[in-house]
């Protein structure tokens, strides 16, 4: 049985999980592949981690280039994350004609076009299943199962931390702060949680998914991003009462000559599959012209799931090595498609959830409705809540499809009225499809 | 750009959908693959279908062997279904060193071991994504994404007709017969619906999935099968009241030295992802040691979705042809693993939903509970319903984990009591994991 040798760069949570997974299930992988997968070398700038995991000293190298420049190694797994020095490691590995596996979403979301060109120029390939949703195979499904489809839209809950927070707020009625504290206590949120709750982690992943789906190079900076830290538990509970969940959704939709790419909190009907994605689970919903609906769900993060994704990439790389050909070579070209126009969020018509805090006096509803009507904003339902011991009462309205610019004008004019006690809340309602 | 030539055998609903899909999206497929995919020939024993679809006469062949024996054809797509003559067509195509794509679950569920051996002996491969859940990529995910995992269990709603019926009963409280009529009117149930509602269609698919998951050759006859035609709308509504759905579930679970494979109606908690699979949608839930939970959902049937699955297989075959190597050659061996002991349903402990129809008299509950206790069946909850104008009242009980044999003895003894007015109903409650 042929031996395929692997070098592993980075031995943090993910790196050590891949090491352990390979130790546990390496024989399953090898027997399924018809080739023996052997971990030959590993390295990490923090050498104390090796003692903790009782790693055989023979495997440990002093620096990454000892691995990258070892001619006997066939596959490099990069798991250090970040741009520097990960990008240099990957580029040099490809130039050394090694297949590369990475889970580095930050790097790929920006530099994918350049990296895939180097891979193609050197007759090898980069695999990156674990860069989006870890072991949940969104990349494989999109690139291989949907290969003959025109992708209409992608909708995903692709950040576990913010989903845990919003789920807790929905289930227990607690505030964002309390839910964040809970997520931190349970290990679902890091101390530095901002990349998660402000939507930028989702944007990194959406940049990769949407670029693959629409064969172009969409970068995080092209994506409209809005986080969840301003979502109030009152709105979560009002939405719930109306039959909706508030979820941080990553959305990419294709139009004739443009694409829409955004990450923002939205209202989803309770019956939608994505509304049933709770706690730290992740999911992606594809709409495609032939396959129609394809929904994928799973952990989407953590060492074990990421290990599964990385090892599925090892299998792909081994297939290529055995076939002496970088299969799915088309991947190299996918990001080189013609640049797509990015449609601004304000150009897209939508329905909205709107909450006004108004004085509890006669004529208030008439006043608000009048201003909305003037700006062509029509209302599909209204809920007025009586509150004890406060002067302001919440008035919740769901609008029909409306132009962003019209709604904004209306909200501004209403905000100037004396009857309005505090800033109005506007949350997009996600439409079907 | 290299041309890859395809021959299509069978031009019914699926065959014509593949033809149309290739016509519509062939250029997407070709550009993603870096090879031009060309439909060279097709045939069907019913020649009238070609007129209906205005097929170019040059494409039409008089019989399948004109296609199978054409040396210029690289890939054969078999879409006639059934055992004869599909099996002969596939075997001869493989012997002619052609890659074969099939959606034929009935054939594969029984004869997979033989067919894959012929493929391997001839240095080619058989692809069969669309044989289970059409374009929902359960085969690819199981064989490729989970390649380094040990699969613990598979749970699936893998028959759209029965799921449509049970969903309607759940939503509207209507009877099995009324829901079946509705499914027929909407085109979700064929006139000959028995293969669907009696669970045998699910068993065919489960035979394929469980064989792949556990690397052995499980046949439909190894699978315990129970259909849904005896499910009463009363039980569906009582289950709903208790927070459950009744679903026709296909389950495969692996033990140390045996496997459990069964298709039967079960109670699922409303919060389970599979409980949210409604109408004619299909879904599969994998539990694996590294990836943990992977849930896939989609149409799982119909021409368009099947076409997507078939064309993803075309892509795999083209990759093999370009690489001059049957990749995933390991597939050939997967069904040749050591035979697994099949665990009998009666050996597996479970909780149950039980409904007794008893006279409305004092002491009835004591009598029933007493007999259950005598047989070591302990009860987790009881619901007694008062009924108008009938003497019999339903008594619903949910049991704790109990041995099948103990429960059966208790049910028999209770059935012999004079207080019992009609046959008791027993439905398994599906446990987590």
Burial of B122 (0-12, 13-18, 19+ CB in 10 A): middle
Weakest mean pLDDT among A93-107, A127-141, B390-404: B390-404
Q: Are residues A183 and A248 in the same domain?
A: yes
Q: What is the CATH number of the domain that holds A195?
A: 3.30.360.10
Inter-chain CB proximity A145 and B322 less than 8 Å:
no
Q: Are residues A400 and A290 in the same domain?
A: no
A190 pLDDT band, cuts 50/70/90, is confident
Among A290, A319, A333, select the one facing B21 at the smallest CB separation.
Answer: A290
- Residue A26's closest chain B neighbor by CA? B148
Assess whether the previous peptide bond of B85 is cis (omega < 30° from 0): yes
Among A147, A297, A324, select the one facing B273 at the smallest CB separation.
Answer: A297
Residues with Cβ within 8 Å of residue B349, at least 6 apart in sequence:
B401, B402, B403, B404
Inter-chain CB proximity A25 and B296 less than 8 Å:
no
In DSSP notation, A362-398 reads TTHHHHHHHHHHHTT--EEEEEE---SS-SEEEEEEE
Residue ranges making up the domain that contains B287:
138-300
- At residue A170, the pLDDT reads 98
Q: Are residues A55 and A82 in the same domain?
A: yes
ipTM of the complex in this document: 0.96
- At residue A433, the pLDDT reads 72
Among A144, A276, A323, select the one facing B276 at the smallest CB separation.
Answer: A276
**What residues of chain A lie within 8 A of the CB of B25, using their CB?**
148-150, 289-290
- Count how many pairs of residues, chain A against chain B, have C-beta atoms within 8 Å: 205
- At residue B407, the pLDDT reads 96
Q: Is residue A338 part of a domain?
A: no
- At residue A389, the pLDDT reads 57
* CB atoms closer than 10 angstroms to residue A213: 26
Q: Are residues A97 and A120 in the same domain?
A: yes
Q: Is residue B338 part of a domain?
A: no
Q: Does B394 touch chain A (CB under 8 A)?
A: no
Q: Does B21 touch chain A (CB under 8 A)?
A: yes
- At residue A331, the pLDDT reads 60
Q: Is residue A197 part of a domain?
A: yes
Burial of A139 (0-12, 13-18, 19+ CB in 10 A): buried
Residue A146 to chain B, least CA–CA distance (Å): 7
Q: Is residue A108 part of a domain?
A: yes
- At residue B78, the pLDDT reads 98
- At residue B205, the pLDDT reads 98
- At residue A332, the pLDDT reads 56
Inter-chain CB proximity A322 and B322 less than 8 Å:
no
Q: Report the DSSP beta bridge partners of residue A399.
A: A379
Q: Are residues A218 and A311 in the same domain?
A: no
Q: Is residue B114 part of a domain?
A: yes
Q: Report the DSSP beta bridge partners of residue B395.
A: B356, B384
Q: Does B314 touch chain A (CB under 8 A)?
A: yes
pLDDT above 70: residue A295: yes
Cα(B430)–Cα(A166) distance, integer angstroms? 29
Q: Are residues A356 and A424 in the same domain?
A: yes
Name the more confident of A335 and B6. Answer: B6
Q: What is the CATH number of the domain that holds A76?
A: 3.40.50.720
Q: Are residues A155 and A34 in the same domain?
A: no
Q: Is residue B342 part of a domain?
A: no
A337 pLDDT band, cuts 50/70/90, is confident
Supply φ then ψ for residue A169, to 5 degrees. -60, -40
Token digits of residue B235: 């039980």
Cα(A30)–Cα(A20) distance, integer angstroms? 15
**What residues of chain A lie within 8 A of the CB of B31, using their CB?**
330
Inter-chain CB proximity A140 and B145 less than 8 Å:
yes
Inter-chain CB proximity A25 and B150 less than 8 Å:
yes
pLDDT digits (tens, 9 = 90+) for A191-246: 889 999 999 999 999 999 999 999 999 999 999 999 999 999 999 999 999 999 99
Cα(B136)–Cα(B309) distance, integer angstroms? 7
Q: Report the DSSP beta bridge partners of residue B247.
A: B266
Q: Are residues B95 and B241 in the same domain?
A: no
- Residue A21's closest chain B neighbor by CA? B290
Token digits of residue B426: 């027993």
Q: Is residue B341 part of a domain?
A: no
Please count the structural domains in chain B.
Answer: 3
Select the residue from A14, A77, A213, A290 to test the B interface by mutation, using most B Cβ atoms within 10 A: A290
pLDDT above 70: residue A297: yes
Q: Are residues B72 and B196 in the same domain?
A: no
Cα(B408)–Cα(B424) distance, integer angstroms? 11
In DSSP notation, B320-381 reads HHHHTS-SSTTHHHHTTSPPPEEPPGGGS-BEEEEEEEEES-TTHHHHHHHHHHHTT--EEE
Assess whether the previous peptide bond of A85 is cis (omega < 30° from 0): yes
CB A300 within 8 A of CB A281: yes
Q: Are residues B192 and B326 in the same domain?
A: no
Q: Is residue B339 part of a domain?
A: no
Q: What is the CATH number of the domain that holds B374?
A: 3.30.70.260
3-state helix, strand, coil in chain B (%, to 5): 40, 25, 35
Q: Are residues A148 and A226 in the same domain?
A: yes
- At residue B432, the pLDDT reads 80
- At residue B8, the pLDDT reads 98
- At residue A362, the pLDDT reads 86
Cα(A129)–Cα(A267) distance, integer angstroms? 29
**What residues of chain B lie within 8 A of the CB of A276, using their CB?**
271, 273, 276
pLDDT by position in tens, chain B (length 433): 899 999 999 999 999 999 999 999 999 999 889 899 999 999 999 999 999 899 999 999 999 999 999 999 999 999 999 999 999 999 999 999 999 999 999 999 999 999 999 999 999 999 999 999 999 999 999 999 999 999 999 999 999 999 999 999 999 999 999 999 999 999 898 888 999 999 999 999 999 999 999 999 999 999 999 999 999 999 999 999 999 999 999 999 999 989 999 999 999 999 999 999 999 999 999 999 999 999 999 999 999 999 999 999 999 999 999 888 877 655 557 787 888 999 988 888 999 999 999 998 889 999 999 999 999 999 999 998 776 556 789 999 999 999 999 999 999 999 999 999 999 999 999 988 7
A334 pLDDT band, cuts 50/70/90, is confident
pLDDT digits (tens, 9 = 90+) for A370-419: 999 999 999 999 998 776 556 789 999 999 999 999 999 999 999 999 99
Per the prediction, chain A carries an average pLDDT of 94
pLDDT digits (tens, 9 = 90+) for A340-349: 999 988 888 9
Residues of B numbered 273-312 whose beta carbons fall under 8 angstroms of chain A's beta carbons: which are they? 273, 276, 281, 288-299, 304-305, 307-309, 311-312
pLDDT digits (tens, 9 = 90+) for A3-57: 999 999 999 999 999 999 999 999 999 988 989 999 999 999 999 999 989 999 9
Among B271, B292, B311, select the one facing A304 at the smallest CB separation.
Answer: B292
- At residue B431, the pLDDT reads 87
Q: How many residues does chain B have?
A: 433
Select the residue from B1, B143, B145 to test the A interface by mutation, using most A Cβ atoms within 10 A: B145
Residue B385 to chain A, least CA–CA distance (Å): 29
- At residue A328, the pLDDT reads 61
Residues of A forming the active site: 205
- At residue A361, the pLDDT reads 85
Q: Are residues A103 and A124 in the same domain?
A: yes
- Residue written as token pair 């769900």: A297
- Residue written as token pair 């690139």: A143
Q: Work out the angle between the directed axes of helices B233-241 and B160-172 (0-180°, nearest 10).
A: 70
CB A131 within 8 A of CB A108: yes
């Amino acid at each position: 049985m042929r031996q395929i040798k692997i070098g592993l760069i980075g031995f943090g949570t993910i790196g050590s999980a891949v090491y352990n997974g390979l130790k546990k299930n390496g024989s399953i992988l090898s027997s399924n592949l018809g080739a023996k997968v052997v971990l030959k070398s590993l390295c990490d700038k923090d050498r104390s981690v090796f003692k903790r995991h009782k790693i055989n000293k023979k495997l440990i190298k002093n620096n990454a280039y000892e691995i990258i420049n070892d001619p006997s190694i066939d596959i490099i797994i990069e798991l250090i994350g970040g741009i520097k020095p990960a990008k240099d490691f990957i580029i040099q590995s490809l130039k050394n004609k090694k297949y590369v596996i990475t889970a580095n979403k930050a790097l790929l979301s920006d530099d994918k076009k350049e990296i895939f060109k180097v891979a193609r120029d050197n007759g090898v390939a980069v695999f990156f299943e674990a860069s989006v949703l870890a072991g949940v195979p969104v990349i494989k499904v999109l690139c291989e199962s949907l290969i003959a489809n025109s992708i209409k839209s992608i909708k995903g809950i692709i950040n576990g931390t913010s989903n845990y927070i919003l789920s807790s707020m929905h289930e227990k009625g607690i505030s964002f702060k309390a839910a964040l504290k809970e997520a931190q206590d349970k290990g679902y949120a890091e101390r530095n949680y901002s990349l998660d709750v402000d939507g930028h982690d989702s944007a990194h992943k959406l940049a990769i998914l949407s670029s693959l789906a629409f064969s172009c190079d969409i970068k995080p900076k092209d994506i409209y991003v809005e986080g969840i830290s301003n979502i109030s538990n009152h709105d979560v509970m009002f939405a719930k009462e109306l039959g909706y969940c508030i979820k941080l959704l990553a959305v990419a939709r294709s139009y004739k000559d443009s694409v829409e790419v955004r990450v923002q909190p939205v209202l989803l009907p309770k019956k939608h599959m994505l509304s049933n994605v709770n706690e730290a689970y992740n999911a992606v919903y594809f709409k495609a012209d032939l396959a129609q609906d394809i929904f994928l769900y799973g952990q989407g993060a953590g060492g074990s799931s990421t290990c599964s994704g990385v090892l599925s990439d090892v299998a792909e790389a081994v297939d290529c090595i055995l076939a002496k050909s970088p299969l799915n070579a088309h991947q190299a070209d996918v990001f080189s498609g013609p640049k797509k126009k990015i449609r601004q969020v304000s150009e897209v018509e939508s329905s909205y959830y709107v909450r006004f805090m108004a004085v509890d006096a006669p004529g208030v509803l008439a006043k608000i409705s009048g201003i909305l009507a003037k700006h062509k904003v029509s209302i599909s339902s209204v809920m007025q809540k009586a509150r004890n011991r406060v002067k302001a009462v919440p008035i919740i309205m769901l609008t029909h499809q409306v132009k962003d610019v019209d709604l904004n004008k209306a909200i501004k004019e209403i905000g100037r009225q004396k009857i309005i006690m505090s800033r109005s809340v506007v949350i997009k309602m996600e439409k079907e499809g």
